[in-house]
Homo-oligomer: A and B are copies of this chain.
Amino acid sequence: MTDLVTFGETMLRLTPPRGRRLEQVTEFDVAVGGAESNVAVAAAQFEHDVRWLSRLPDSPLGRRVSTELRRHGVEPAVDWTTGGRVGTYYLERGGKPRGANVVYDRDRSAFDSVAVEDLPVDRLSGAKMFHTSGITPGLSDATAAATEHLLETAVDAGVRTSFDLNYRSKIWDPDAARETIEPLLSFVDVLFAPERDAATVLGLEAEAPTQANRLANTYDVETVVVTRGTDGVVCRHDGETFEQPIYETDTLDPVGTGDAFVGGFLATRLDGADCGDALAYAAATAALKRTIEGDMALVSPKEVEAVVESGGVDISR
């Protein structure tokens, strides 16, 4: 039985060597990443049965994406197309005083024209949890429609739903985002929202605990997790508030930290843990992710547990 189904676009990620600019690059590291498949991979590391719904061209590059996910334990459920491209993003690593620079080349990707009727959505029924993020409805009218349709389908089928606000200013502006996302929140059981996005997109200018509380009440969401970068997270669940600091890390690659958190949280909740424990495991998964190259949290449950138990102190073996 499927534990988790995620829905979203996954891209090729092309990364120059550290310290090289895109203007001069002579070699790319090739990886695969997308918010929702990153969540899927993280959850799959906890030995859950995880599927990922998407749309890709039936080409070597399309297969490059899907086989990587399969390798890491996620079952791709793909609408294979004869045309369209694979979205690509270029990641130029940063370093104080410049941040990393992401250059998207994802327009006109096969995913932009996704249609629920062509997806193998039978995979959804019977699942325990459905997850997607605010990136997905921001890509095109078609992806917005599909997102709503799938959330609705999930709710109707008794599948619990999870949503990560994930606002990207390179995709749309706050008003457009709010208009599209707000109606979706009524379908959501677990909501992840970066503190800044909650303010920018949903107009919630407040401290994280207040944000969490208001999000829970305004949109009637059972579990709300507000993330605050290095300041840790606040969670509101069933009238109770939880706080979780981050674990200290030697950061090698920060991309995908938030997705690792979501994947760790959902996986632990699916295992029956309460929110407090799930937040700790989520934070540990996220901390470990930052020590690993690529978007994906290639960690083992044992490693995550060791971080939680040691409080994040360096574990020499």
Contact = CB atoms under 8 A, between A and B. Distances in A.
Interface string A67-85: 1101111000000000001
A205 to B, nearest CB: 20
A315 B99 contact: yes
Contact of A26 (B29, B97, B101): B29
Contact of A96 (B25, B70, B250): B250
A183 interface: no
Interface of A: 14, 17-31, 59-61, 63-64, 67-68, 70-73, 85-86, 88, 90, 92, 94-103, 105, 107-108, 247-253, 284, 287-288, 291-294, 298, 303, 306-307, 310, 312-317
A19 B292 contact: yes
Given A21-B298, A70-B70, A103-B61, A97 B30 contact: no
A72 B64 CA distance: 10
A120 B315 CA distance: 35
For A21, A61, A67, A316, which residue has the most chain B Cβ atoms within 10 angstroms? A21
B63 A23 contact: yes
Given A21-B292, A102-B317, 6 more contacts: A18-B293, A22-B61, A23-B60, A24-B67, A27-B27, A96-B249
